[in-house]
DNA sequence: CGCTATCTTGACGCGAGTCAATAGTGGTGG
DNA sequence: CCACCACTATTGACTCGCGTCAAGATAGCG
């Protein structure tokens, strides 16, 4: 469904707390997360079932095929969602950034490994508890549906990208997506961060590490981007990049 | 969310009516559709806002970029969902078969053209009406969420396929998916139907028509399938195909 | 300061796209 | 009913972009 965004009944952006995570009420990223639609009173209900989980870089949160017991909201840091086929081919389904909800799946088991790209803090909720919350707060379920629909849209974008764009175009698309995402999350700025290694970008875009590297240097040579460091990128010619992506 | 399937409160499979579509209560494919979760009484509410729409083969239901006013459930026939990029590259996002819900999107405009592959009958509901129904019947919204989650899962499967599998593997995957789908829909049988032309298969799998043709003949030569007619395929070696797809 | 993992760059080959010709199929009208 | 025509599918020959393999350059870390 279209599900034009529900108005968040809680308009205070939850920035009053200094700490990274108190109880949910003071959560720094609630406005980015699905729980943003809950009233302060409703947030309390969520508080009783949510718990904070901290991961170090490289830590594995879940393995493909394991029983799904929890869903997560990323509070800080970043995750990668990785599929491995029987013969070892690797596909990075996506990256989860602060505010992202991890667990929109219809399967009983995890469809991918979930790994931390850096020090990461998560809000964890039992799957059953989350389902009960969905029944209790229909507008929360509505928000989840809205998220799922948005993710479906971007999934279709990515299919177009994987099926019909060449490596350079895919890189441009990826970088612009990342930039837009960091802008939304309140981290604008000329230079954007690439929290993942080249291999993850490659497996996300259906390329090889070598090709990713070559594409980045190509974009740099053409003056579209700068690479101040390995994990940081600067967009010099936004219009030029967009022209590539749209193709 | 996982959303293990809600139990349909309406267990009568709605096969009592002879006609292809009376009012919703007698709908032949209700058990396949999202409205399968509604009680007979609730179905009446849906009846008042739903209307039957018939398309001839090749008819265009909607164009990419148009305002989204309706959502649809396919009753009979088949649709294709097509994206065209600015420079004419084509991607078939998916095919909608009987029971499928068309309209799980977060965008205000259609993200793709919607075209009939054959004579097709649809159940049409206004977007606003559908949203009201979702609020009125939370279990309907739950079912939509479940659908969206399942579609997300298959979208991720398809990304893996597009990014990491070779043409033959993609064909095998596609054929198996189609076979499974027709089995679910109650059309089993050794021979399955390909309601779409080769060009659509190609644009669905990120290939060219020529490559699709070559892959099909390759699979036939290897004794995995037979091609009794252009729009019909028979799976001769299920295990062999699965071995390819899993790779 | 050196070790290791990651990233970059280069040389080469292959698989899928492109272009082109042939075969099949369905639909229409004589 | 058959002949013709347009469209789609198949097959073949060739090209080229991206993957593969291999060698250096960087960078992060102890």
Give which of B124, B160, B242 to mutate to test A binding, by max A Cβ within 10 Å: B160
Q: How high does pLDDT run on average in chain A?
A: 90
Which CATH code for domain B24-147? 2.60.120.10
**Per-residue pLDDT at B142:** 97
Tracing tokens 């209900």 back to the chain, one arrives at: A45
Tracing tokens 């509505």 back to the chain, one arrives at: A142
**Which range is least confidently modeled, A69-78, A206-215, B52-61, B185-194?**
B185-194
Name which of A123, A25, A147, A146 is nearest A74 in CA terms: A123
Task: Considering only residues B8 and A207, tell me which one the structure prediction assigns the higher pLDDT.
Answer: A207
| 8 Å CB contact between B169 and B244 | yes
Checking if the pLDDT of A102 tops 90, the result is yes
Within 7 Å: CB of B159 and strand D? no
**Per-residue pLDDT at A7:** 36
Cβ neighbours, 10 Å, residue B199: 13
Low-confidence ranges of chain B (pLDDT < 50): 2, 4-21
Separation between Cα atoms, residue A125 and residue A47, nearest integer Å? 9
* Closest-CA residue of chain B to A5: B106
**Which pLDDT band, with edges at 50, 70 and 90, does A73 fall under?**
very high
Give which of A81, A159, A174 to mutate to test B binding, by max B Cβ within 10 Å: A159
Tracing tokens 């980015």 back to the chain, one arrives at: A32
Q: Do A164 and B89 touch (CB under 8 A)?
A: yes
**Per-residue pLDDT at B247:** 67
Contacts of A150 in chain B (CB under 8 A): 106
> Can you spell out the DSSP letters for chain A?
-----PPPS--S-S----SS-SSGGG-TTTTTSGGGGS-HHHHHHHHTTEEEEEE-TT-EEE-TTSBP-EEEEEEES-EEEEEE-TT--EEEEEEE-TT-EE---SSSB-SSEEEESSSEEEEEEEHHHHHHHHHH-HHHHHHHHHHHHHHHHHHHHHHHHHHH--HHHHHHHHHHHHHHHHHHTT--SSEEE--S-HHHHHHHHT--HHHHHHHHHHHHHTTSEEEEETTEEEES-HHHHHHHHH-
Separation between Cα atoms, residue B193 and residue B199, nearest integer Å? 16
**Per-residue pLDDT at B3:** 54
CA of A194 to C1' of C1 (A): 29
**Which range is least confidently modeled, A21-35, A125-139, A203-217, B64-78?**
A21-35
Contacts of A131 in chain B (CB under 8 A): 1-3
In three-state secondary structure terms, B193 is: strand
Identity of the residue in B3, B85, B135 whose CB atom sits nearest the CB atom of A106: B3
CA of B210 to C1' of C21 (A): 13
**Residue-level length of chain B:** 247
**Per-residue pLDDT at A131:** 96
For strand C, the positions having any atom within 7 A of a protein Cβ are 6-11, 15-20, 25-26
CA of B39, closest CA in chain A: separation in Å? 18
Domain extent listing, chain B: 24-147, 165-246
Q: Do B131 and A3 touch (CB under 8 A)?
A: yes
Q: Do A2 and B142 touch (CB under 8 A)?
A: no
Write the CA distances from A9 to A18, A31, A144, integer angstroms.
23, 11, 16
Question: How is domain A165-246 classified at the architecture level of CATH?
Answer: Orthogonal Bundle (1.10)
Checking if the pLDDT of A19 tops 90, the result is no
Give the dihedral sign, CA B159/B161/B165/B170.
Answer: negative
Contacts of A164 in chain B (CB under 8 A): 85, 89-91, 206
**Per-residue pLDDT at B246:** 77
Identity of the residue in B87, B108, B145 whose CB atom sits nearest the CB atom of A2: B108
Checking if the pLDDT of A68 tops 60, the result is yes
Checking if the pLDDT of A31 tops 90, the result is yes
**Per-residue pLDDT at B7:** 36
For A126-145, b where at least 16 C-beta lie within 10 A, e where not — what string? ebebbbebbeebbbbbbbbb
Identity of the residue in A2, A108, A206 whose CB atom sits nearest the CB atom of B164: A206
Q: Do A134 and B91 touch (CB under 8 A)?
A: no
In three-state secondary structure terms, B109 is: strand
| 8 Å CB contact between A122 and A52 | yes
Tracing tokens 């977060």 back to the chain, one arrives at: B106
Give which of A2, A169, A246 to mutate to test B binding, by max B Cβ within 10 Å: A2
Separation between Cα atoms, residue B196 and residue B117, nearest integer Å? 6
**Which pLDDT band, with edges at 50, 70 and 90, does A227 fall under?**
very high
Strand order across the beta sheet in which A225-229 lies: A191-193, A232-235, A225-229
Question: CB-based burial of residue A85 (10 Å sphere; 0-12 exposed, 13-18 middle, 19+ buried)?
Answer: middle
**Which pLDDT band, with edges at 50, 70 and 90, does A17 fall under?**
very low
Name which of B106, B218, B221, B97 is nearest B169 in CA terms: B218
| Residue range A67-74: mean pLDDT, rounded | 98
| Residue range A177-183: mean pLDDT, rounded | 94
- Residues B158-214 pLDDT 10s: 999 999 999 999 999 999 999 999 999 888 778 999 999 999 999 999 999 999 999
**Domain A24-149 is classified in which CATH homologous superfamily?**
Jelly Rolls (2.60.120.10)
CA of A18, closest CA in chain B: separation in Å? 31
Identity of the residue in A1, A135, A160 whose CB atom sits nearest the CB atom of B138: A135
CA of B213 to C1' of C21 (A): 16
């Amino acid at each position: 469904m279209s599900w034009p965004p529900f108005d968040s009944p809680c308009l205070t952006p939850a920035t009053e707390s200094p700490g990274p995570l108190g109880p949910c009420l003071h959560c720094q990223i609630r406005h980015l997360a699905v729980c943003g639609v809950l009233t302060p009173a409703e947030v309390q209900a969520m508080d009783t079932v949510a718990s904070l989980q901290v991961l170090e870089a490289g830590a594995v949160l879940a393995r493909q095929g394991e029983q799904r017991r929890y869903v997560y909201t990323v509070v800080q840091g970043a995750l990668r969602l990785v599929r491995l086929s029987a013969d070892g081919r690797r596909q990075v389904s996506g990256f989860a950034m602060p505010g992202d909800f991890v667990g929109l799946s219809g399967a009983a088991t995890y469809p991918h490994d979930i790994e931390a790209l850096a020090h990461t803090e998560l809000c964890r909720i039992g799957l059953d508890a989350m389902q009960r919350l969905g029944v209790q707060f229909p507008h929360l379920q509505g928000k989840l549906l809205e998220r799922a629909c948005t993710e479906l849209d971007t999934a279709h974008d990515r299919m177009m990208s994987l099926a019909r764009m060449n490596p350079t175009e895919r890189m441009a698309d990826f970088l612009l997506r990342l930039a837009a995402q960091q802008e939304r999350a309140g981290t604008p700025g000329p230079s954007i961060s690439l929290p993942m290694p080249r291999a993850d970008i490659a497996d996300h875009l259906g390329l090889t590490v070598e090709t990713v590297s070559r594409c980045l240097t190509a974009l740099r040579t053409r003056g579209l981007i700068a690479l101040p460091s390995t994990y940081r990128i600067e967009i010099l010619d936004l219009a030029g990049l967009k022209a590539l992506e749209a193709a």
